[in-house]
Structure 1
Amino acid sequence: MASQIDRLLAEHTAGCIPEEPHSISSSAPSLTYSESADDELDIEDPRQPEPRRRRASTRLIAQSPADVQRITGETTTQLVTRCCGGGCCFSQGGRKSDIQYEPIEFPDNDAYRSLNLKIDGVPATLNNITELPEQTVYIQPLRRPSNVPSPTGSAASVGIDVSSGVDDIEKQISQLGLEALDTTIEPPSFVQPHPPHHVFAARIHNTRELTGRGAEKRTFHFDLDVTNYPEGEDVDFKVGGAIGVSAPNEASMVDEIMDLLLVPRFLRDKPVLLRTTKGRWPTVWGEDKARELVTTRRALLTWCSDIQSYPPTKPLLRVLAEHATDNNERKLLLFLCAGEGQGVFCDFRTGPHVTLAQLLHAFPSSKPPLELLLSILQPVMPRFYSLSNDPHESYEQKDGKQHRLIEIAVTVHETSDWRTGQRAGVGSGFFQRQALKFLEAQKKGETVDLYIPMFKGLMANPLAKQFVSDGPMLLIGAGVGIAPFRGFVQRRLKTANCANKVWVLQGIRDSLVDELYSGEWGVHEDEVKRVVQSRRGEGRYVQEEVKEQADLVWYIINSVDGRVFVCGSTRGMGEGVEEALVNVAMDKGNLDREEAKQFWQLKKDVGQYIAETW
C-alpha cells in the first residue's frame, strides 16, 4: 500500500496541473492512472461490448429500513413524521355497513376536482373533530383618539402612556407609522433573518440563463452588487460561503388571496397595528414573545407567511370549515378534520402540495378573517444559495465606479399546479421572475433596477469552513451543486502548485443544454474538470465515475490536508456518491462495509470529507 501511494504521489506531483493518463477504462476521460485499467483492456474484446446495465428494477421489495429509503427516497423517520398517525394505512376504505351516511353535493369547480379527494360519502356523525386553533394574530386599525383613551383602548395596546395628557398621547401616536422602507424590494425590518445580520436589497448587476433550450430544469446566474453592503457585521463573504435570501410571495398570488378573502383594495396597503400574543412570527429567528408593530396587510402576506410550500393541515381546514357558509362545503371540511376522514386526509396531505389560493377556490363559501389565517400559516423561511465565485476577486467597473460583485446560480424548482400545470417555488420562482424582467429590459435596450433581498449571515457552512489553501482536493457535484466549486477552482488556480491540485467531477444530464459554467473555470479547465453525462452516450452517473476514479479518490483522501467535497441533491446523487466512496474504501483499503463506513465517518469528523447535500 505504501509503494502504491508513493507511486501515485510521484505521479500526481510531476507537474503543477494534472496530466492526462494514457490508459483508461472509463467512458469519460479518466483523471488518474489505474493499474486495473490495463488488465481490463487486455482481456476485453471490443467487438463484444458489455450489455448496458438496466437502471430500474421491475420489482420493489422492502425488507428493511434501508429498502424503504431506497424505494421512497425517505428514511423511516421521515416517513413516520410525514404520516398522519391515524392508522389509515391499514384501513380498507369504502363505506362501512354499520355507519349511517348522509347525501352530499361536492363543490362543482376545477379547484376542488384538482384536489383528487377520494370521498364517496360523509358519515352523519363525526367524531374527534380537530378543535379550532388558537388565534395569536390580531390586526387593528390605527386611529388618532380625540380624547384620553381608556387603558383597554388601542393606545394602551401599543404601549402608549395613557396617564399622559391628550397632547402627549397624540404626539406618541403620530410617531406610529410605517418605516421608511420600500417593501416592494425588501421586507420590513422586523423580518429579522438571523441576528445580528439584516436584509440588504442587492441590485442585480447582471443575469443570464446557464441552461439551454430543452433543459429539464432552468438555471440562472446572477451577479449581485454588494458594494454598499452595510459594514460592521463582522462576517466577510467567503469562498464556498452562502447568502440567505428573504424571497417574497408572488404579488399576483397575494392579491388573489386578498380578493378571495374579500379584503377591500383600499385597506391592503393601509397602515395597521399588528398584535401577536406569542410565538416568533412575523420574524423568523426572533424570540418567542408577544409583539406590537405597525405594518400593512400586504406586507404581512408578502413577506411573512408561506402560502404555497406546505401541505394542508387540519388546523387550516378547521378554520375553513368554521367560516364556510355552504353546508356541503362545511361537512366536507369537517370530515377531513374528523377521525372518520383520517384516511382521506392522510392521502390528501401526503400528495402534491396545494396553495392557499387553491383551497379558497375549492371551497369558495369559506372566507375566514386574514388575521386568523396568519395565526396558523407557516412563516416564509429564507432560502440559502452558495456563492459560485471567489468573492475576494470579483469586481467590475461601471458608470465610473468599481462595483463589488458576488455570484450565485439558482435552479428553478417546479411542482404541479392545478391551473398552469407547473408552478415555481417561492425562492426559485422569485429569482426566475427577476431574471426574466431583467433580460426582457436588456433585450429592449432599457435599464431596469431590480433587487434581491439578501443577507450574509450563517457564512460558516461546511463548504466555506473546510476550504483551505493547501492539500489536494476532489470536488464532486451534480446540477447546481457544482456552482460553489467554481469559486474553489478559481481560488486554487490562482495559486496552483504541486501540493494543492484540484480535480472536479461534474454530473449533468446533457452537456448540450445543462452543463453549468462551461469554459468559466480557469485557464486549465479541461485538465481539472471531467463531465459525466447521464442522458447522452452510454449514460453514466457521477457516482459511477467516482468508482472508476478509485485510485484518485484514495490518493487524495489519504494525502496530507487532502479533501473530498460532495455537493448536490441528497436523493440519487448524494446517496449514490456516498455508496461509491464506501466501495472505494472497501476496494482500495481492503475493508469490509462497516469498516469502510467508519473510515469515511472519521474523515468527515476531521474535516477531510465534506458533504453538503439537500
Structure 2
Amino acid sequence: MLRPMAIRTKTTSHCIPEEPPVDNISPRSAVPSLTSNSSADEEEIPKEPRRRRASTVLISQNADDARRIIGESGTRLIETCCGGGCCMLAPKADSQSFEYVPLPDNDAFRGLGLNLGQLPKKLTAIHELPPKTVSLSPVRDTKAPAIVGADPDERPFNPAVDQSIDFTPHTAEIDEKLQHARTPTSSEHPPKFVKPHPPYEVFSAKIFNTRELTRAGAQKRTFHFDLDVSDYPAETGVDFKVGGAIGVQAPNEEEMVEEIMDLLSIPRVARDRKVLVTTTSGRWPTIWGEDKPRSLVSTRRDLLTWCADIQSYPPTKALLRVLAEHTTDPNERKILTYLCSAEGQGKFCDLRTGPHLTLAQLLHAFPSAKPPLDHLLAVLKQLMPRFYSLSNDPHENCVPVKGCSRLIEIAVTVHETESWRGDRTGLSSGFFERQARKFIAAEKRGEKPDLRIPMFKGLMSNPLAREFISDGPMLLIGAGVGVAPFRGFVQRRLKSANCANKVWVLQGVRDSLLDELYSGEWGVHEDEVKKVVQSRTGVGRYVQEEVVAQKDLCWFVINALDGRIFVCGSSKGMGEGVESSLVQVGMEMGNMSRAESEEFWRLKKEAGQYIAETW
C-alpha cells in the first residue's frame, strides 16, 4: 500500500535558514511579557526569543542601544538641525499649568496672525530687558561742552548761534549762489549728523522732472526721476559713473511718525522741541560715524523721521521686551512676555515670518504699551540709505537754458506689501512715489514745484560701474527695473560707431504694452540692440528662457576678447534662472558636464566677464 504524499505549499518559509536554537536560556534573560497572569501563584513560563533570519543582524533593541548608535541625545539632534533656539527645545514640565488670557480686541492684534490658545503660567528663559543706551534730556545749559572727541556737528544746541542751520552741503565757490536759495526744512532733509558717506554730508537734490514709466493696469508702478546735481560739491577722486548707484536717505512717512508719537502720548508741544541726545556707545544716529559715546542736539520728530526704521524689519525680542516692560495692562504684559520666553519661541517665529509688521501696528495691537522714546530708540534698527542705479550716462549734461547744467536719472519701482490696513508701500519707494505724485499734481496746476531728494554720490564702486568698459561685445540681461542701468550702458556705447554692433539687450517684461520701461529711449539702433521678452502675453516666455534660445550669442560674447555679460534684477526667480540658463548654455555649446559648466561660469565671474547685480 502506497503511503500518501505530503501536499506541497507555495510558501518558502521552510527554506529560510534560521539561527540554531539557543539552549539553557535563563529566565532572567527572557523579555518580560506585557500580559499579566490570571493567578499570582502560577510560575511565569519564560518565552523563547523570537527567532530571526540568519541573514539579519540585531543592532538596536532598546533606548540605550539607540543612544550608542546615534552618539547624542534626541535634544542634541534637534539643536544640530535648527541651530538652537527652536521652539522644540523649550523645556516641557509634566506639571506645567496653563491659563486663558483674554486677547486684545482690536484689528491691529488680529492682523498679527497670532493663534494663541492657553498660555503657560510659568515661563522660562525670558529675554532680558535690553540696556538703555540712548537718553533724551532737555537742553538747559547752552554752554555745556560736547563729549571729548565729538564731531563739530554734534555739539549741544546754542540758540545764540544756531538759529538756522543750512543742511545743504556746498563749497565756498557756490556760497554766494546759495545765499538766496531755499533752505530745505527738517522734513525734507536729514540733520547734519546723519552721514551715510562720511565725511561728506547728504546733498539735497532738486527734482528737475519726473514721470511714470508704467501704464495703467501694470502690476507694479515705476517712476523716472531727473535729479539736478549741478551744484553737487566736488569729492576727491569720485565722480558719477555709468552703471553707478547713488544712495538715498529717505525719511519715514510724516503721517506714520505723527501716529507713533500719538500712540506714545508724546505732548505735541514737545515733539519739535530741542533735546540733548546722549548715547553710551555705537554709531547711532550717525549711520557710519565712529563707534563711541556721543552727545548731540536734535528733536524727537527728527529722530523718528531720519534715524529709526519703523517699518522695514520684523520685530525683535528686545523690542517686545521693552513693550512688555512698559505695558500697564496685565493681559497684554503676559502675551508680550510669553513671546519673549522659551515657551513662546514658536509663536515668536510665526510673528517674524508672518505678515509684514510696523512699529505703529504693534503699538495699536498693545495699546497700553507706552515705552519712553529713548528706550524705544535704543532697540529700533538704524534707518539706512537705499541705493538706486543710474539709468543714464551721467556725463551727458542737460541744456543750460532749461535751468540746470547736469542731471542724473534713476528709475524706482514701488514695492507694496499687505498690512492690517491694506497694501502698504516700502519706505524708500513710497517716499519716491509721494514726491512724484506731488510734482505731477503741481505741474498740472501750472505751478513750478520745488521738491527734493536727499541723496549722496557714494563710492560708485558697485559691480555694474566697476566692470563697465567702453569696448568689447556686451550682452545685457535684465527684468523689470533691473534693465534701467543698461540704458546708460547703451547710451555710452552707441556714441562710438565701432561699438554700435557690439551691445545687445534682453529685456524681460510682463506685458510690453503696460510695463516696458524706456520704450523708444535707447538710441537710434534700438530695434537692433534690444529684444523684449513678454511673460504674460503671447507665447509667454521668461528672460531666462530667452537666454537659452540665444545661446549662440551668449557663447560668442563670453568667449570674445573683453566680452561681458551683465545681469541685473531680482535674485528671486530671475537671477537664479538666468544663471541656471547660462550653465545650460555652457553644457550645450561647450560640450561640458553640469559641474564643468558651473565651474566655467564661476571663473568668468572671478575674471569680471560675468557680472550679476541682483537684490
1:102 aligns with 2:99: yes
> Does the 8 Å contact 2:493/2:500 carry over to 1?
no
TM-score by length of 2: 0.80
Q: 1:565 is paired with a residue of what secondary structure?
A: strand
Q: Which residue of 2 aligns with 1:560?
A: 561
Q: 1:454 is paired with a residue of what secondary structure?
A: strand
Structure-to-structure mapping, 1:448-467, within 5 angstroms: 448-467=449-468
Q: Which residue of 1 aligns with 2:87?
A: 88
Task: Classify 1:314/1:609 alpha carbon distance in 2 versus 1 (closer, same or farther; 3 Å).
Answer: same
Q: Which residue of 1 aligns with 2:534?
A: 533
Q: Which residue of 2 aligns with 1:127?
A: 124
Q: Which residue of 2 aligns with 1:116?
A: 113
Q: Which residue of 1 aligns with 2:411?
A: 409
Task: Classify 1:143/1:462 alpha carbon distance in 2 versus 1 (closer, same or farther; 3 Å).
Answer: same
Q: Once structures 1 and 2 are overlaid, which stretch shifts more, 201-210 or 172-181?
A: 172-181
Instruction: Supply the distance in 2 between the matched residues of 1:223 and 1:185 (Cα, whole angstroms).
Output: 18
Letter in 2 for 1:304: C
Instruction: Supply the distance in 2 between the matched residues of 1:604 and 1:372 (Cα, whole angstroms).
Output: 46
> Does the 8 Å contact 1:197/1:456 carry over to 2?
no
| 1:172 to partner: Cα distance | 7.3
> Does the 8 Å contact 1:387/1:484 carry over to 2?
yes
1:180 aligns with 2:166: yes
Instruction: Supply the distance in 2 between the matched residues of 1:284 and 1:85 (Cα, whole angstroms).
Output: 31
Q: 1:494 is paired with a residue of what secondary structure?
A: coil
Q: Which residue of 2 aligns with 1:322?
A: 325
Q: Return the match for 1:136 from 116, 133, 138.
A: 133
Instruction: Supply the distance in 2 between the matched residues of 1:274 and 1:311 (Cα, whole angstroms).
Output: 26
Unaligned runs of 5+ in 1: 1-79, 146-153, 161-169
| 1:446 to partner: Cα distance | 1.3
Q: Return the match for 1:349 from 352, 355, 365.
A: 352
Structure-to-structure mapping, 1:328-367, within 5 angstroms: 328-367=331-370
TM-score by length of 1: 0.80
> Does the 8 Å contact 2:157/2:297 carry over to 1?
no
Q: Tell me the C-alpha RMSD between the 2 structures.
A: 2.4
Instruction: Supply the distance in 1 between the matched residues of 2:157 and 2:325 (Cα, whole angstroms).
Output: 41
> Does the 8 Å contact 2:111/2:355 carry over to 1?
no
> Does the 8 Å contact 2:464/2:611 carry over to 1?
yes
Q: 2:223 is paired with a residue of what secondary structure?
A: strand
Q: Which residue of 2 aligns with 1:40?
A: none
> Does the 8 Å contact 1:241/1:386 carry over to 2?
yes
Unaligned runs of 5+ in 2: 1-78, 150-155, 168-184
Q: Return the match for 2:144 from 142, 149, 155.
A: 155
1:173-195 Cα shifts (integer Å, max 9, x gaps) = 85577743332211111111122
Q: Once structures 1 and 2 are overlaid, which stretch shifts more, 231-240 or 565-574?
A: 231-240
Task: Classify 1:139/1:178 alpha carbon distance in 2 versus 1 (closer, same or farther; 3 Å).
Answer: farther
1:269-299 Cα shifts (integer Å, max 9, x gaps) = 1111110000110011121111101111111
Q: In terms of Rg, which structure is larger?
A: 2
Letter in 2 for 1:479: G
1:504 aligns with 2:518: no
Instruction: Supply the distance in 1 between the matched residues of 2:160 and 2:129 (Cα, whole angstroms).
Output: 37
Percent sequence identity over matched residues? Answer: 65
> Does the 8 Å contact 1:397/1:403 carry over to 2?
yes
Letter in 2 for 1:340: E
| 1:567 to partner: Cα distance | 0.3
Q: Which residue of 2 aligns with 1:580?
A: 581
| 1:99 to partner: Cα distance | 2.0
Structure-to-structure mapping, 1:188-587, within 5 angstroms: 188-398=191-401, 401-419=403-421, 421-497=422-498, 501-587=502-588
1:287-314 Cα shifts (integer Å, max 9, x gaps) = 1111101111111100010000000111
> Does the 8 Å contact 2:104/2:332 carry over to 1?
yes
| 1:171 to partner: Cα distance | 12
| 1:98 to partner: Cα distance | 3.8
Instruction: Supply the distance in 1 between the matched residues of 2:391 and 2:397 (Cα, whole angstroms).
Output: 11
Letter in 2 for 1:136: T
> Does the 8 Å contact 1:126/1:338 carry over to 2?
yes
> Does the 8 Å contact 1:100/1:124 carry over to 2?
yes
Letter in 2 for 1:538: V
1:26-59 Cα shifts (integer Å, max 9, x gaps) = xxxxxxxxxxxxxxxxxxxxxxxxxxxxxxxxxx
Q: 2:454 is paired with a residue of what secondary structure?
A: strand
1:341-381 Cα shifts (integer Å, max 9, x gaps) = 11111111111221000000000001000000000100111
Instruction: Supply the distance in 1 between the matched residues of 2:195 and 2:389 (Cα, whole angstroms).
Output: 20
| 1:497 to partner: Cα distance | 1.6
